[in-house]
């Protein structure tokens, strides 16, 4: 669903939009002001790229430091080294289940192995199609070839960069069996609509929640919407264990099948009547156990997850609430009933027409002011050679026509990535705000050339 951004329009934003190009003359050292006129123009500060002072003077220091491990983690890992064994894994899985209120969870050596086990658990017939977002990563998609599954590449909603439900409807066939939402950079997908669509067509929802640990919609924690979900815990993720992953399951058969895929030593732990007990000793050819150091870090970080998410979100709100009032600068649309989180970057959109300058020029000017910002353009999944070479697939992926993914194309034309501050940074946020306002005040001269 392409949901329009319908948030309240503030007076300041209204003023800036109304001011149009004239708004460019309103930047003063103290920030944007409604008082225009020749006097204000005279005080317009020169851009750093033209020899003016940089708006960002504060050192970035540890503002984007991640992961945040401290003495507590160091002590716990040191303790493991004194008596090395696998005992930290089970307490992490228990803590995970308690946090999410879920019945079954299995920790893995990384997110890819958690997601691969999840695909095996589905036990789908060969040739089954799974709707995946083209604006996404290969990790849960390429392993589909091991199980004769077929990824079908769906367009993204340009307002969210998440899977577009309208396009899912267009790509649905009699072979479609599942849909795999990925909550891009911490922004929850439209799960209520995805859920309704899946129910209507008898599809399974399987979540790749690798960017959205602790995010919610209507108090349903991300990962709990689907039949199964998988998470990466790799070191850049909202819950970082350097390298690790976990999958969670609602029903016992899914759990036992998935666990048996990559754990030769666990089938004996299933109840006597389990169909998978007999595979004790061999599994199905993979060994995907979590490293105990990763389990220690993951358990300790999970205890701090909500606080860490809150700290980062507060910095983003402080910055975005102000800079998204500038014409043509917006953030991905978050449903009011959702509680999003952030993964590694603060993604924003520049609408070149509304901003009156090109994204490339705006980014150059912001960089000169000292802002940690880049143009953001994601390599679309379907463009990787592996996806179109028949020797790797028993059932070929369904690739989109080049002109059928306007949402992905639009996101790639508009997106920028700004540093995500993981701790309280009032000075930096203030200076970043000043940098954006200054660049926007000069937008007419920055232009598109
Ligand atoms: C969306 C997404 N899914 C899955 C993965 C795979 O996780 P891992 O790197 O832990 O194997 C990643 C890793 O970056 C990811 O970004």
* 262 and 280 together in one domain: yes
* Cα–Cα dist 185/348, whole Å: 11
| Cβ(207) – ligand 1 distance below 6 Å | no
Q: Which domain holds residue 363?
A: 11-65+305-446
* Cα–Cα dist 358/76, whole Å: 50
For residue 49, count other CB atoms closer than 10 A to its CB. 17
* Cα–Cα dist 35/42, whole Å: 13
Give the model's pLDDT for residue 342: 98
* 98 and 26 together in one domain: no
* 57 and 77 together in one domain: no
* Cα–Cα dist 388/365, whole Å: 39
The torsion defined by the Cα of 216, 222, 225 and 231, in degrees rounded to 10, comes to 180
* 103 and 49 together in one domain: no
Ligand 1 atom with least separation from CA of 343: 16
Residues 131, 140 contacting (CB under 8 angstroms): no
* DSSP state, residue 245: E
The helix (H) or strand (E) run that includes residue 385 is none
How many Cα atoms sit within 13 Å of 411 on the Cβ side?
Answer: 27
Give the model's pLDDT for residue 271: 98
The helix (H) or strand (E) run that includes residue 159 is none
Q: Which of 118, 134, 136, 139 to mutate to test the pocket of ligand 1 (most atoms within 8 A of CB)?
A: 139
At 16-75, the pLDDT tens digits run 443 433 344 345 433 443 333 333 444 689 999 999 999 999 999 999 999 999 999 999
* 288 and 358 together in one domain: no
State how far Cα 212 lies from the chain centre: 6
CATH number of the domain where residue 61 is located: 3.90.1150.10
Give the model's pLDDT for residue 6: 34
Alpha carbon separation from 267 to 18, 95, 256, 281 (Å, rounded): 66, 22, 7, 8
CA of 411 to the centre of ligand 1 (A): 21
Q: Which of 234, 235, 379 to mutate to test the pocket of ligand 1 (most atoms within 8 A of CB)?
A: 234
* 60 and 75 together in one domain: no
**Residue 179, beta-bridge partner list:** 131, 205
* 324 and 434 together in one domain: yes
The protein residue whose alpha carbon is closest to atom 2 in ligand 1 is 210
At 302-349, the pLDDT tens digits run 999 999 999 999 999 999 999 999 999 999 999 999 999 999 999 999
Give the model's pLDDT for residue 324: 98
Give me the sheet containing 329-330, strands edge to edge.
Answer: 329-330, 345-350, 415-419, 373-375
| Cβ(210) – ligand 1 distance below 6 Å | yes
Final residue belonging to a domain, choices 276, 302, 328: 302
- Residue ranges in the chain whose pLDDT is less than 70: 1-43
Three-state DSSP state, 240: coil
With 0-12 / 13-18 / 19 or more C-beta atoms within 10 angstroms meaning exposed / middle / buried, residue 159 is: buried
* 58 and 191 together in one domain: no
Final residue belonging to a domain, choices 302, 329, 360: 302
Q: Is residue 386 part of a domain?
A: yes
CATH number of the domain where residue 234 is located: 3.40.640.10
């Amino acid at each position: 669903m392409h949901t329009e951004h319908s948030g309240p329009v503030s007076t300041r934003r209204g003023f800036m939009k109304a001011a149009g190009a004239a708004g460019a003359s309103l930047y003063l050292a103290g920030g944007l002001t409604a008082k225009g006129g020749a006097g204000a123009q005279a005080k317009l500060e020169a851009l750093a790229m033209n020899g003016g002072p940089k708006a960002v003077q504060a050192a970035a220091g540890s503002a984007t430091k991640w992961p945040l491990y401290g003495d507590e983690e160091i002590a716990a890992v040191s303790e493991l080294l004194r008596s090395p064994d696998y005992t930290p894994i089970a307490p992490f899985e228990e803590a995970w289940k308690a946090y999410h209120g879920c019945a079954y969870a299995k920790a893995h050596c990384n997110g890819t192995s958690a997601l691969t086990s999840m695909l095996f658990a589905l036990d789908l017939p060969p040739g089954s199609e799974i709707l995946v977002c083209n604006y996404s990563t290969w990790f849960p998609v390429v392993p589909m070839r091991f199980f004769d599954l077929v990824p079908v590449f769906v367009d993204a909603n340009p307002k969210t960069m998440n899977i577009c439900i309208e396009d899912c409807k267009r790509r649905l066939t009699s072979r479609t069996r599942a849909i795999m939402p990925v909550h891009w950079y911490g922004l929850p997908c439209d799960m209520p609509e995805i859920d309704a669509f899946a129910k209507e067509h008898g599809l399974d929802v399987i979540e790749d929640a690798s960017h959205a640990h602790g995010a919610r919609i209507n108090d349903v924690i991300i990962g709990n919407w689907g039949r199964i979900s998988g998470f990466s815990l790799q070191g850049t993720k909202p819950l970082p264990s350097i390298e690790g992953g976990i999958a969670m399951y609602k029903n016992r058969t899914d759990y036992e099948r998935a666990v048996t895929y990559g754990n030769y030593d666990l089938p004996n732990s299933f109840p006597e009547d389990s169909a998978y007990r007999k595979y004790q000793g061999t599994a199905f050819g993979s060994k995907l156990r979590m490293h105990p150091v990763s389990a220690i870090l993951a358990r300790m970080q999970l205890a701090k997850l909500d606080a860490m998410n809150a700290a980062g979100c507060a910095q983003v709100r402080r910055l975005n609430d102000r800079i998204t009032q500038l014409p043509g600068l917006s953030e991905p649309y978050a449903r009011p009933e959702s509680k999003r989180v952030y993964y590694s970057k603060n993604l924003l959109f520049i609408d070149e027409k509304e901003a009156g300058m090109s994204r490339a020029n705006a980014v150059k000017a912001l960089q000169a002011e000292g802002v940690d910002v880049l143009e953001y353009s994601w390599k679309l999944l379907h463009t990787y050679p592996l996806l179109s070479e028949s020797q790797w697939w028993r059932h070929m992926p369904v690739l989109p026509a080049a002109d059928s993914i306007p949402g992905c194309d639009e996101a790639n034309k508009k997106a920028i990535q700004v540093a995500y501050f993981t701790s309280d940074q009032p000075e930096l946020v203030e200076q970043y705000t000043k940098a954006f306002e200054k660049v926007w005040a000069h937008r007419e001269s920055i232009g598109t050339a």
